[in-house]
Every structure is written in C-alpha cells, then in structure tokens.
Structure 1
Amino acid sequence: MQMYQRLGWFLLSTTWLLCTFAVEVCASSGSKLGCRLPSEEITGYMSRPGDIFIAGTFPVNLERVYIDLNFTRKPPELTCQQFGSEYYKSMRALVFAVEEVNANPEILPNITLGYHIFDTCNTLRRAAQGTLWILSGGQEIIPNYYCAGGDPLAGVIGECGSTPSIIMAQILGLYRYPQISYFATNPILSDRSQFPSFFRTISSDDIQMRGLAQLISYFGWSWVGLLANDDDYGQSGLQMAKQEIINAGACVAFAENILIGKEDKNAPYLARVIKKSNAKVVLVIASDSDFLIVVTELLRQNVTGNIWVATEGWATSTLLSEEKFQRVLEGTIGFAIHGAQMQKFTEYLSNLLPSQSVNDPFIWEYWEKTFLCKWSYQGNLEWAGNATTRLLHYVQNVNFKTKDGSNMFFNAKGNPPAVYDIVNWRLGAKGRLEQVVVGRYDLTSPDQETLNVDKKAITWANEETQVPLSKCSPSCPSGFRKVIVPGKPTCCYECARCPHGHISSQTDAVECHPCSWDTWPNLQQDRCLPRTREFLSYEEPLGYSLAAISILSSLIALVILGLFIQYKRTPIVRANNYSLSCLLLLSLFLCFLCSLGFIGYPQPEKCLLRQVAFGLVFALCISCVLAKTIIVVIAFKATKPGSRLRKWTRVRVSYWIIGFGVFIQSFLCVLWLLFSPPFPETDTDTKPGVIILNCNEGSPISFWCMLGYLGLLAAISFIVAFLARRLPDSFNEAKFIIFSMLAFLSVWVSFIPAYLSARGMYTVAMEVFAILSSTWAVLVCIFMPKCYIVLFRPNLNSRKYLMSNGRSASNVEIVLNGHADKPS
C-alpha cells in the first residue's frame, strides 16, 4: 500500500510541476499565444508528379550534427551529414522502378506514376516528420488533415531501420496505407494486430538469427561475442541471436551495445572489450553507419585478427569496404539480402547527370562521393505534393516471378520468402574490400538443406584458408570428456580422461560410453578392442612348462614303480611293504597326471572333474602313507610271539585303512557335485581389458573341506610317524614319512595365501605348482633313499644287514614276513 501511495504522490507532484511551468510560460507569452499550428521548414526531399504517387523514405544522409538540449528554448532543425551512397542508390532504385513502370503501357495504361521521396537522415524525428508530411499533402505538417489537392497516395516505401519503420507503421496503420519496408527486420512488425498494413521485402530477424546461429555452429565456433545497436533492430536481434546461439550449443562471451545516441557510439569501450576477450568471432547486429565508428576505433587501437559475422544491416556495406578497414574486416562472413544483377539499373546509375536531375537535391553529393570532387555551387530544389488512397488488398495478394526466376509474395504476416546470400569479405583487385557470395541460406529449399556453404571459396583474415578457431577452452581430444567448471559458461570446461572401461571417439565429447562386456578400450580410449582371453593354455610358456614337468614327473614315478617290481624279492623292498609301495607309487603317478586337468581351456567337463580327481588321488596317496606308517608301528610293537597285534600287520588291514580314507573324501566330493558343482565362468572384473576364463568352484566350502581333509590325513600321518621315529634305523620309514608329510603340509599351507592373492591364470598355475611340489615331496622323501640303496648300495639290501642292529630275529621276521608281502 505504501508503494502505491508513494507512486501516486510522485505522479501528483510531477503533474503540479508541469502545470506550474505551463502557467509561467503562458504568463510570459501573454497575447502571443493563440490557436495555431507550428510550421517547420521541410528540406531534403524530391518528387515527380503523376496521377497517383508512391512515397518513399530513405536515410540518404547517415549522421546528424549532435546538439546539446537544455530544454530552455526550441531546438534548431536537424543538420544532416555523411552522405550514404548505397542508400542513395536504393532511393534511385525507386525512381528507376517508377520510370520503368511509366515506360511500359501494359502495366498502368493511361496512368502516370509519381513519387515523393523524403530523406529521414537516419533519425526517428525525421522519419515521423516525413510520414506526417506525406499524409498532410506534402506542404505543411497538419496531423489528421489532408489540406492539399492533387495526386492520391498509393503507398509508402520505407523505412530502412526497424525503429523508424515501427513509428511509421503505427501512423500509417491508422489509415491502412500500405507500407513496404526494404530493410526493417524486427519480428514485432509481423504482428498484424499492431501493424495491419506493414509489409517488407526482407525476412524477419528471427529467421536471420536462426540462420546465423547455424552458420556459427557450422564452422564449429562455440565462443562468440555479440555487438548490437541499442535500438529495436539491435536489441531484438541481440536477444534472439543469444538464444539461438545457446540453443546451437555455443556460448556468448560478451554482449555489448553500440550506443547510437552518443557521438562516439561507445566505441572506445567496445574496442577494449573485444581486445580483452579471447572470443575470436564477433556477431554484429547494427547498421553500417553505426558500426563504422566502432571499426574506426578498432583500427586506431590495432584490434585485428577477429572474424566478424555480419547481419544484413552491413554485410554489403560500401561505407566499410574502404581499403583502410582491410586489417580489421578482411575475412568477414555474414548474411546478405538475396539479390541479382540488374544490368539496366547499373547503366541507369552510370548515366545520372546533375543537369538532367534538377529535382534531385542529393545528386550533387552523389557525384562528389563517386568521383571524389567538390562542387562550387549547388542549387536548391524543393517539391510539394499530396494525395490519399486504399491499395492494401492488392498488396496483400501480390504474387509474381522476378526476372531471375524467384517467386515474390507476402505471407500472412507481410514477410517475403526467406532467402539470404552468404557473403565473404576479401580484398579486391581495386584495393577495396569486396563481398563474394560463398553460399546461401534458403528456407524454401526443396531438398530441406537450408544452409549451403562452399568452404573452399572462403578467405579468412590474413588470407588463411583454414577455418579459425573460437573456443573458450581447447578441444578435448578423443579419449577425454568435457567437465563443466562451476560458475563458468558451459563452453568453458576442463578435459578429463574417460573412466576405466569407457571411451569417447570424438572431440569435445560430453560423456564417455562404456565398452561392451567382451571389449575394452585401447590406450588412447578412443575405440573398443576385443578383450584378451586369459587362461592357463598349453600355448603359454607357463602352461607348457608345467605340462612338461607333470608328464616327466609321472614317468619318473613309473620308473621307480618298475624298479620296485624288478627288486621285489630284495629285503629292502619287502621290508617296506611291497604292495603298499606299489599302490603309493601308482597314486603318485596319478597325482602328477591330475595336474594336467588344470591346464587348457576350462571346458564344463574339465571344470566338473579336475578338483574332484585331485582330491581323490591325493586322498589315495596320503591314505597309503598313513597305512604304511600305522603298519610299521604295529609291526615293531608286535615283538612277542603269539602277540594279538600280529593279525593287524596283514595286508588287508592296510587296504581297509586306505579304503576308509578314500571313502570319506569320495563322500565329500559326491555331495559337492550334487549340490553345488563347479562350472566354467568368464571374469571381466578382476583384470582390466582381460576376460579370465576359469572354473568357478561352485561351493567354496566344499573346496576347502576337500583340501582340509587332505591336510587332516597328512597331519595324522605326520603324528603317527613322529611317534615311531625311535624304531631301529634299519627298518624305520617313519623319519622319511615325517619329512614327506612336513613338506606336504608346508606346501599346502603356503598355497592358501598365494592362491587367494593370485589372479587369472596364475591362480590355476599356483595350484598346479602346489600339486607337483607336494607330490614330489612324498616321492623324494619316501622312495629316493630306497632307490639309492637298491641301485648304489646293494650290500645294505640284505637280511644280514637288517639283523645287524641287535634286534631279535623274531622282530625281523615280522617285518620281512608278516608286515611285508611274500612274492611268489
């Protein structure tokens, strides 16, 4: 409530001050005040009489003399300066068109077309003044009155800029006079509710800005600066361009205004901003006359090396084409109004003479500008005329084909077909910058390819042929991704390596993509390669080395078995239980061979049986050692004739011990295979880039129970052998069994941490090594001393030696006859 009270008080105070000021003015004027219209001197126009006439407004002069307004007296009339030859040619194009129509009796038979043309001096005041002057009849400005008789008004051609066109359209729309602009691009003018009689021969800025954003994206520019006039044309275009650039994935480095109300256009500040910024591409939404001041300042501060993207407002400007601007503007690219060469109009311009154009007050300046001369005298020419009309219906339905084959029509919003030429600025043969068409932006293209650019035809600054870069951050190469930096635009990013297992195959990737389960990134992380398959194969040096050792070891076990068979009648063989020794050697042979089941491709059958086979043959082996140990102890304890322990020294007792030991292991393995059998699996997580093919044990508990049972058998054998260590040396195997079991247990205890820490095929190789090592421990510790006596110390392999330690003969007989098998 307080806010509204304050606002009301402010409005009341302001109104009171204005009324007080008005009273004082009236008091001081006295009788001089009366009911009259102020008259102004109208200058800067040309005309031609006719049955009907067309009015036209053009900014023939581009600047004005800036006057400080102190609001104490009436401001003087505007003084125009800086003749614009391009706009004069546009004005002359209207004159040329009128003369062409009058020369062709088929177009307007028996009717002469006239014109009234007004120089707006590129100011809003002159644009409004000229509109009211035309509507008032061409003599005095009398709002809402048409005081002069004469030619009726068909319509108005103009204005050049969007802001003056809006002002004119608001006035002309009241009376539905058709207005056709040749350069106003503000999208608001398409609103038929506000501007019902406005048309234009150039597309709306929303189309142009969308096309310029596509052009910027086409060249890969992601860091762009924006300059725009602080008028309707510039500000509307600035907002649309910024949004379209962001939508295209680029970022705006800066957005600054060209202050057209200031004499220097804020150029020194703009030059410093551009010089400081690392954006090398700048989109300029301005008229050529306003941008001219900025370019001059850029040249003064030596700001070069930028790529300028031009809107249609200056893309074909002759003001900016002078040679001195080459260092700043060479390489410029932008959108120009689509056009074609008119040979007759070119000849018409070249034949213009001041003596034949006495009603043209601007031709003197045109000659001075074109031929670089100075007239000593210029005549003053004035014109007058007035008219009224309604032509709006016919303009809305116009549709014809131009001489170059293009269709010309107005859509429901008063806009023509959207076609732009893409021009490139380069130094021409005459030393001036020239605009060369290098592509087209055409929304009417039948193949839907709206943007077509010939890259090879473009010349950039310093005559470079490669597209210059304009990025806030350097491009992230393949194998990296962009990481947004908090607080900065999305185009200012950092590059981060793709995470493990991910790739990016293009530059400036937003995210990395994971490889499939059977592939892995290469070192550069820019493509996925098939993963290496790892298993303990026979082709691997480790694989075939272990296989060779296994086979050779099994052959050695067979050789020892053959040696025992050959010397089975000798006391040393008989004293060591011949049958058990042969069974133990056979089990050792199988232990060596079972390691081959762990080498090679892990097929389902191999995975199912290899651990079971290992557990059973090792249970057989350790059970044989346990049986030998128990029988030796019993044999040496049954020293008395008729002892009840003698019956336990028979061979069948040994087999019962072995059978019981193997049965328990078999039971565990059967339960394992029934409830959670091993199976082949592919491991993609253990090693990056490698597929480990291995056998999953199914139930880890079953595996460790099987291995623990072997340890239990070995521990019992060790304990029994340790208790029999003091028996007579000549017959005692206990000390050899102690060493064998101690080595066996040491190997498998060391195996556990090594097995758990190894990865891939080295896990399997570790188990194979443990199998071979533990088997060799039993073979060496139990059988190598006997082989040494049989082969190299035959004198020790005799009954006499066995009885030489002082033991009784009965004891020896138990060992040789009861404990040992009697070969036939």
Structure 2
Amino acid sequence: MRAEPQHHPSPSGHSLGNSNKPDSEARTEVGSSGRVAPHFYQHMQALIFAVEEINDHPELLPNITLGFQVFDTCFNLRKAAHGTLSMLSGGNETTTNYHCNKLSPLASIIGDSGSSVSIIMAQILGLNRYPQISYFATSPILNNRNLFPSFFRTIPSDEFQMKGLAQLVSHFGWSWVGLLVTDNDYGQFGLQMIKQEIINSGACVAFVENILTGQPNRNAPRIVQVIRESTAKVVVVVDAESSFVIVLEELLRQNVTGIMWVASEAWATSAVHSENRFKGVVVGTLGFAIHGGQLPMFSKYLNSLSPSDMLFDSFIKEYWEQSFSCKWLSQENLATLLENDTIRACTGNETLENITPEFYHRASLNVYNAVYAIAWALQNLILCVPGNGPFDHGTCTNISSFQPWHLLHYIKNVSFQTTYDSQVFFDAKGNPPAVYDIVNWHVPLSNCSPSCPPGFRRVMVTGKSPCCYECALCPLGQTSNQTDSVKCHLCSWDTWPNLQRDKCLPRTTEFLSREEPLGYGLSAISIFSSLVPLVILFIFIYYKTTPVVRANNYSLSCLLLLSLFLCFLCSLVFIGYPQPQMCLLRQVAFGMVFTVCISCVLAKTITVVIAFNATKPGSRLRQWTGVRVSYFVIVLSTFIQLVICVSWLFLFPPFSELDTDTKPGVIIANCNEGSPTAFWCMLGYLGFLATISFIVAFLARRLPDSFNEAKFITFSMLAFLSVWVSFIPAYLSAHGMYTVAMEVFAILSSSWTVMLCIFVPKCFIILLRPNMNSREHLMGKVKGQK
C-alpha cells in the first residue's frame, strides 16, 4: 500500500517512501530544507506505525505486506496535483493514464489535511475511481458524490460540526453571540451553516467579521474594535490557529479579556491554550475537538524514536529541533552556536518522554483509522468467494492485479472495530460517524437581555434585535415552565396557574358546602327555623277553640304555618353539591311553597275584608264568608305558578354545570337555571302576589281590631317585598357559592318576616296574656273603637 498523508506548510516538498517489500530497503528523497511541525510529523509516524502494526498482525492481511510513500504538498495546489499524478503514474515524471512503475499496485491515497488541497486531489482521483481517505479535510463540498465519487474521510464534515456548535450555543442559553470566520472555504461555508443554525435555535448574531488571510495583520485591529464595542460576551471562531493567533495577539495588545470563545475543531486544542501569554485572553474557551482515543502502543512508539536509529528519515532532525528547541551542529551554524549562548546544540540523547508527548491522540488517530480502513477493505477483497463476488456474474478480483474501483467498492462497505473499541464505517457521502470531544474551560452568560424566568415570556421591542427583549408576566390563566419562553400556554380547563405562573395546579371547586362554616350555619338555621312554625302550629291546635285563634281563620293559619315549615326546609336543597336532580327541582320547590305561603296570606287578607263588609246590613258578601273563597284564591294562585314552573321544566330545564370563567382559578359548581327569563317570571309572580296582598292589607288596615290582621299582614308583606327587592341586585352581583347563599338568606329572611309579623302577636296573647284571649275582651275593643 502506498499512502499520502499531508503535512502543514513547509517551503518545499518532502517525500518519504518505503516499499516494505521483504527484500527492499527504505529510501528517502529530500528536497530543499524546510521546517516540519511536530504534530504533523506525528501524523506521518501514525501512518508508519499503523502499516507496521498491520504487517505484524497474524490475521489481518496474512502473507500480504503493505508499503507506503509519503509526499508533502505544503498546502500548495500545484504540488498536490503534481504529487497525485506522480503516485498514479508511478514515477518522478507524471504520465497521464499510464503506470510506469513495477511496484505493487497503488491501493489508496490518504490525504490531504486541507479541504482545498483535498478537493483538487479528489477531482483527479475520482476520474479513475481511486479511493482517497482524508484525515483532516472537513469541507461539506466533499459530500457531493457526483463530483467526488471516491472520496472518504475519517473526520466528520463541517456540516455536523457547525450544527453541533449551534446546539452548544443553544444548550448554554446564549442568545447574543458574535461570529469570527476565516475568509477561505472553511470559514465561509462554516459561516453559512452556523449562522442559520444559531438563528433557527432562537438566538441572534451580534456581529460577523471575516479574518482576512490575505492581509498580514488579518484585519485584527478592526475585529478587536468590534469585539470591544459589542455587548456580546460569546464569540464563535471558525478558523485555524495559524490565522487566529494574530487576532489573539491584538486582543492581548489592547487588553481585551472576559470573552467566551467557542472554538471550531481547527484550534480548540491548539498550543495557544498552553502559552502563558495568551492565558488571560483564551481562558474560558469552549468548543469541539476532533474525537480522540488512547493509543498507548503508538505513544510508546513515538517515545522510542531516535535520530541515531532513523538515519533514513530526513524529517526526524527537524522534528527533534522543534521538540527540544535545539540546533544540530554543522559547519554552517557552528559559529552561530558558539557566539549565542541561548541556542542549545542537539545531542541526540534527549528523551521524548521528558516532553510528555500527547497520549490522547486526535488527528493521528484519524490517520491510524484511515490505514486500517484500507487494510480491512483489502482483507474483504481477499476473502471474496468466486461466484458470490460483488462484480459482474459474482466474480472477485485478485489482490495482485485489482483495479482502483474494485477496492473502492470494499471501502464503501467497510466496517470494523478498532483496537480502542470504536466502530469505524462510512456513510453514503463518505463521512464517518459524527463524534466530537468537547473542550470546556469556563461558561459565562452572554445575552442582550436577561433571561426571562419561568412564568414570564419574551416581548419583542420595536426597532431592536429579536434577542433584545423585555420580560412580561404570563397573562391570566397561562403559564410558561421554561426559561426564555416565547409564548405562554393555556392551562387545561380544570387547572390554573400558581402565583409564579410556572405550572398549572388543579383548580379548587367551589359550592355552598355543608362542611364549610357558611353552609353549616345556614343549614343549622334552616332546620331550627323549620321547627318554629311547627311549635306555633301545635299551639294553635291546642288553643283552637280560643277566640284569638278562631277570629284569625284557624284553617288558613294552619295551612300558612305548614307552608312556612316547607319554606324553611326548601332552603336546604340549595346547600350542598349541586346534583342534577337537585338543580332540576330546587327553584321549582322554592317557587311553589312560597306561592302557597303568599296565597294563604292573600286569602287571609281577602277574608278579613269580606268578613268586615259582610257584617253591614244588607250586604251580599255574606255568601262569600266561608272557606271556599280562601281555598279558591289559594288554588288559583298556586295553579298559575304551577303552569309557569311546569313550562319551565319542560322547555328550559335547569341543569348542573361547572363554571370556569367567572372566578379565576376556581371551578364553580352551580345550577344553571336553564332560562333566566323563566326564573325571573317565577320570582316576579311571587312579587306580584305579595304586592296584591300588601295593597289589600294596607287598604284594610283601619278595620276593627277584633276582626283585623291587616296591620300585621301589611308589615309582613312590606318586609317580604323589601327582602326580595334587595335580593335582586345582591343576587346579580354575587358569584359562586355566595349567589346561592344570598338566595338562602332571602328565603330564610322572608319566611321569618311573615312568621314574626303574623303569628308572634297571636302567640303573645295566647301564652302570655290569656286574659286578652276572650270574646268579651275582643268585643270590648270593638265597642271602644266605635
């Protein structure tokens, strides 16, 4: 196998080859001198280590030896194109569509580390379907299988990273962030994706600035000025360390601190985080890093490297100088080393373990995985069974003469478990599973406005950014249970917000309960009051032969007392949970018993008038002095009310209902009267009867006392009417159980006024003034008045 991992800038190209044939020696071809970054040298060593590990593996590719060739493109498109064509043609001179070398077939190419270089390589390699696996190219353009049909990578596409960075911003509740991006493809494609993702998550972009790679200062002064003047405390940076470090130096020069940096993987784990001079600027960096893993054997392999043992490797001396800050002695620099005490000479005895090489590998791991992906693809190619192969007519291919598209098929379908227990495979676009590590140093707040707590919602301010808002308490009946809610939500019909309006609680159900003090007190009064007319009825029965009882129409008095007994008791049906049958009957029962009561009063009044006028000589009213007129008045009056109530029940029957609109947070269990008109007609008819009784009694108030109840009836009806006239506004203004309580109070009050005004004076005479309970005394009163 020959592979091509790419190394970051060096002024000239380097190439390192090793056929790894049993009878061959490693060869080195070195161009002009250049500098190699230590971490990119480690990437090359990861390739070499993986190849050697696979060649030593007893089960993976047995009897097959992998070889490799390394070429440094120096981030130069021309060098990348030249190197790619050189590998394809097999010689120093490139010959299109021709392979002049007799070495083992080229299996695949690993590289490049940059997206721009990878794109030019993928365009060339895709023509012949040569598999290419990059370990560091993240551009989403490379997802296009029509343009790059043979491209794969072991690092996720930026499409995943930018979505992840936006989710990271959203996760910490940052709604006001700045964006710094490099002006190359990496930054501009990243900008398009992350900006839209941030906006879609509900956050806002405070500013967008490009890091201009074409300018020596990267436009750093303007960028730092924008950062200083912005209220955003979180800045997302999509750039590589080499460009962004100039911006960091300008931040350091202007003493700008307190910024939370959200880093893309290109610099999230760079060396700037460990440099003392930048610690005050970059502290608090949070970002995505390339997913890493532990490769203890590779770490041990790196620590064992020595210039004395690797004379064929022209890179190791440069790596040694970079790692230990020393210089190898030579005729050219001998005088410089002797004159400058600060420059130390390299001895070759330095130990790599002392500089603690990275144990948790990231990009090197991607190179390692790329080599193994090719190895497992070749393994599956070898294990192909003729007749069940993936090519025409179930054929297989030969390991010594396969074509690039043969291996491409197996790489597309490769899936294997690594030595560090991770699964590697490629999706339809050539991407690996999108897995990142998160680097986290500190997490501050960065919002244009303070977060709205639960129970509040955002209110946009005209003329300001959507992220600059005000907080408003949720409207009545609505809640929000999240921070920075855009809108509040209605509670269900049987729940209501708590005082903080951050959750819905079950509503309390309100009705005039017998267990509550008000309901209990009214029930006790009703029962006690109902006993009073029974006691008076017993007194009237016991003293029915006395003049006072006989003079006041004994039968009507008994009927009136019974109706008052029922009036007091009917108030009980208004107390308690409003069951459907109770709702249907309670107003009708109230209307009917009160109609009987007022009809009796009206009949007594008419009887008094007829009785007085019948005593005049020649009066025709003598025939009406019996009980028939009284009963006729009662029956007729009650029948009219009965028609009203029956019509009400048949046409608009009352029903029980749960009212959630009248009182906030309360379910009022009440009886809907069905038809307010019917209710007021029933009540109005009672008022009509009481008014007639009042007028007749008022006109008869000056009749002789021995026959006259008119004064007492006048007072009783006046009080009765006063109670119910007062009831109307109170009933209409009350809510919930107090509406029912008002009606019960009116029932009890009006019943007591009738009983007190009509019967208490009679009981006073019967029980306390028996001497006045005589015919002589009554007749004497009459004579005295004449």
**TM-score bucket (shorter structure):** 0.7 to 0.9
Q: How does 1:680-695 map to 2 (within 5 A)?
A: 680-695=656-671
**CA distance, structure 2, for counterparts of residue 108 and residue 647 of structure 1:** 137
For 1:341, the aligned partner's letter is: L
Length-normalised TM-score, structure 1: 0.73
Cα offset for 1:592?
A: 1.9
Once the two structures are overlaid, the 10-residue window that deviates more, 640-649 or 171-180, is 171-180
Query: Within the alignment, does 1:259 sit opposite 2:212 as a pair?
Result: yes
Q: Which residue of 2 aligns with 1:187?
A: 140
1:139·1:148 contact (CA, 8 Å) conserved in 2?
Answer: no
Change (3 A) 1:578 1:264: same
2:180·2:237 contact (CA, 8 Å) conserved in 1?
Answer: yes
For 1:183, the aligned partner's letter is: F
Once the two structures are overlaid, the 10-residue window that deviates more, 731-740 or 273-282, is 273-282
Query: Within the alignment, does 1:371 sit opposite 2:324 as a pair?
Result: yes
2:441 to 460, 474, 489: 460
Change (3 A) 1:601 1:189: closer
1:271 to 224, 227, 231: 224
Q: Which residue of 2 aligns with 1:422?
A: 437
1:752 to 701, 722, 728: 728
Count matched residues. 695
Deviations 1:715-749 (A, max 9, x none): 11222222223323454322222221111111111
Deviations 1:292-327 (A, max 9, x none): 222233333444444433333223323553233333
Q: Which residue of 1 aligns with 2:762?
A: 786
Give 5+ residue unaligned stretches, structure 2.
Answer: 1-9, 22-29, 334-400
Q: Which residue of 2 aligns with 1:56?
A: none
Q: How does 1:59-74 map to 2 (within 5 A)?
A: none
Cα offset for 1:596?
A: 1.9
Cα root mean square deviation, aligned: 4.4
Change (3 A) 1:346 1:622: same
DSSP-derived class of the 2:561 partner: helix
Change (3 A) 1:354 1:231: farther
DSSP-derived class of the 2:514 partner: coil
Q: Which residue of 2 aligns with 1:241?
A: 194
DSSP-derived class of the 1:533 partner: strand
Query: Within the alignment, does 1:353 sit opposite 2:307 as a pair?
Result: yes
Q: How does 1:13-412 map to 2 (within 5 A)?
A: 44-48=12-16, 84-91=37-44, 93=46, 115=69, 117-118=71-72, 120=74, 122=75, 158-170=111-123, 180-195=133-148, 198-217=151-170, 219=172, 221-247=174-200, 250-318=203-271, 320-327=273-280, 328-341=282-295, 343-344=297-298, 347-348=301-302, 351-353=305-307, 357=311, 360=314, 365-374=318-327, 377=330, 392-393=404-405, 396=408, 397-398=410-411, 403-404=419-420
Query: Within the alignment, does 1:720 sit opposite 2:735 as a pair?
Result: no
DSSP-derived class of the 2:274 partner: coil
DSSP-derived class of the 1:645 partner: helix
**CA distance, structure 2, for counterparts of residue 721 and residue 226 of structure 1:** 94
Cα offset for 1:108?
A: 12
Q: Which residue of 1 aligns with 2:353?
A: none
**CA distance, structure 2, for counterparts of residue 167 and residue 629 of structure 1:** 117
Q: Which residue of 1 aligns with 2:612?
A: 636
Cα offset for 1:416?
A: 5.3
Query: Within the alignment, does 1:614 sit opposite 2:594 as a pair?
Result: no
For 2:216, the aligned partner's letter is: E
2:497·2:665 contact (CA, 8 Å) conserved in 1?
Answer: yes
Q: Which residue of 2 aligns with 1:735?
A: 711
**CA distance, structure 1, for counterparts of residue 579 and residue 163 of structure 2:** 63
Change (3 A) 1:212 1:378: farther
1:228·1:258 contact (CA, 8 Å) conserved in 2?
Answer: yes
Change (3 A) 1:716 1:92: closer
% same residue? 62
Cα offset for 1:231?
A: 0.5
Change (3 A) 1:711 1:692: same
Change (3 A) 1:596 1:502: same
Change (3 A) 1:785 1:402: closer
For 1:593, the aligned partner's letter is: L
DSSP-derived class of the 1:694 partner: strand
DSSP-derived class of the 1:526 partner: coil
**CA distance, structure 2, for counterparts of residue 180 and residue 631 of structure 1:** 118
Give 5+ residue unaligned stretches, structure 1.
Answer: 1-41, 54-59, 61-78, 381-388, 425-458, 462-466, 812-824
Q: Which residue of 1 aligns with 2:560?
A: 584
1:482·1:495 contact (CA, 8 Å) conserved in 2?
Answer: yes
Q: How does 1:451-530 map to 2 (within 5 A)?
A: 460-461=441-442, 468-484=444-460, 492-530=468-506
Once the two structures are overlaid, the 10-residue window that deviates more, 87-96 or 182-191, is 87-96
**CA distance, structure 2, for counterparts of residue 659 and residue 167 of structure 1:** 110
**CA distance, structure 1, for counterparts of residue 449 and residue 167 of structure 2:** 21
**CA distance, structure 2, for counterparts of residue 589 and residue 409 of structure 1:** 92
**CA distance, structure 2, for counterparts of residue 660 and residue 169 of structure 1:** 108
Deviations 1:651-709 (A, max 9, x none): 33322222222222223223333333333222222222222222222332322222222
Change (3 A) 1:514 1:98: closer
DSSP-derived class of the 1:727 partner: coil
Cα offset for 1:115?
A: 4.4
DSSP-derived class of the 2:751 partner: helix
Q: Which residue of 1 aligns with 2:648?
A: 672
2:694·2:718 contact (CA, 8 Å) conserved in 1?
Answer: yes
Cα offset for 1:256?
A: 2.5
**CA distance, structure 2, for counterparts of residue 289 and residue 170 of structure 1:** 27
For 2:290, the aligned partner's letter is: A
**CA distance, structure 1, for counterparts of residue 585 and residue 98 of structure 2:** 113
**CA distance, structure 2, for counterparts of residue 215 and residue 744 of structure 1:** 76
2:259·2:284 contact (CA, 8 Å) conserved in 1?
Answer: no
For 2:289, the aligned partner's letter is: F
Cα offset for 1:761?
A: 1.4
DSSP-derived class of the 1:284 partner: strand
**CA distance, structure 1, for counterparts of residue 751 and residue 64 of structure 2:** 125
Cα offset for 1:230?
A: 0.8
Change (3 A) 1:585 1:416: closer
Change (3 A) 1:556 1:261: same
Cα offset for 1:336?
A: 0.9
Deviations 1:421-461 (A, max 9, x none): 4053xxxxxxxxxxxxxxxxxxxxxxxxxxxxxxxxxx633
**CA distance, structure 2, for counterparts of residue 771 and residue 687 of structure 1:** 25
**CA distance, structure 2, for counterparts of residue 137 and residue 169 of structure 1:** 18
Change (3 A) 1:262 1:642: same
Query: Within the alignment, does 1:658 sit opposite 2:626 as a pair?
Result: no
**CA distance, structure 1, for counterparts of residue 117 and residue 462 of structure 2:** 43
Cα offset for 1:805?
A: 5.4
Q: Which residue of 2 aligns with 1:67?
A: none
Once the two structures are overlaid, the 10-residue window that deviates more, 485-494 or 261-270, is 485-494
For 1:332, the aligned partner's letter is: L
**CA distance, structure 2, for counterparts of residue 109 and residue 585 of structure 1:** 120
